Structure 1
Amino acid sequence: MFKFFKKQAQVVLDKDPATESLWDSLLTSPSVKAMAYYRMAHRLYLNNKKILAKMLAKRARRITGIEIHPGATIGENLFIDHGMGVVIGQTAKIGNNVTLYHQVTLGGVSGARGEKRHPTIEDDVMIGAGAKILGNITIGRGAKIGANAVVVRDVPPYATAVGIPAKVVQKKATPSYMYVI
């Protein structure tokens, strides 16, 4: 567990210019606290201790202002900047090295049980403050979502989407280090 805290604190230190040290990150970052609670709750959820997992997630929300359903799947190095008002739904999937700003919602648009209702966020995505990503859609690797955008359709890799409803305003070519086979 100590390795996790140190790694998560380092993510915050690397991405937040206001954070001055690992101790600063460990002791004051809501992102570090929310991810620690999420990892514990997710483990309980996967071990069919769902009520206990949800209780732990609710405690995390009260402490951090960040609501992460324990059924969500989150990769490594998620950075939640500021965090207040962030909501991550039950069937959301988040890749590695993703950044979420405050008041981001990864929400569902259907109430059907047993189906994927929340978005998939691929690796290296940045989602601006107040953005709402809704439904079973995919935000492609390296994409950027502008502040307050409402996204209800897939966003291709390395694209930038803004507006209500969000529209792609810029597409970048795949980075040169990526090879298509």
Structure 2
Amino acid sequence: MADRDRDRDRQQFQLHPQQQQQQQYRYEGGLKNILPQKGPSTSQIVAIVTLLPVSGTLLALAGITLAGSLIGLAFATPVFLIFSPVLVPAAILIAGAVTAFLTSGAFGLTGLSSLSWVLNSFRQATGKEPGEYAKRRVQEATAQVGEKTRQVGETIKAKGQEGVGREGRESGAAVGAGAGAGRPA
């Protein structure tokens, strides 16, 4: 068994001699090769001196905030337990209102994106802008309404003249009859 281990070690050594040489060169210098030969620059020292107080202050504020949150939670927990019959329905109501607001916004965005998609697909299919198409349709509709209005006006005028002509004949006969009745014979 010891012979097997020795043979295996010998095979590994024979299979990877370059790898072992690279490792020797890599770690030969120790810590001196990792660090630069000259010291840090002035700008690096100024940056470290400036950042140490700032980071220390921010770390202290984070600790104070954490402590305040824990103390507030300790005092608020009994209040939450006492008022939970009121707070739970209120939380459900607020959650429902927020959900409804977000859902309406999502539906609005979906509608706008759908409308945009329809307009783009129309533009690609016809090669025209939807505004130009709508403008042309409005002009055609206006022309049709104008033509229909002119026809209706002519019809009303013709019926009015026909009615005036008939009325004039009827009233003329009545006037003639009335004139003859009013004269002594």
TM-score (norm 2): 0.18
Larger radius of gyration: 2
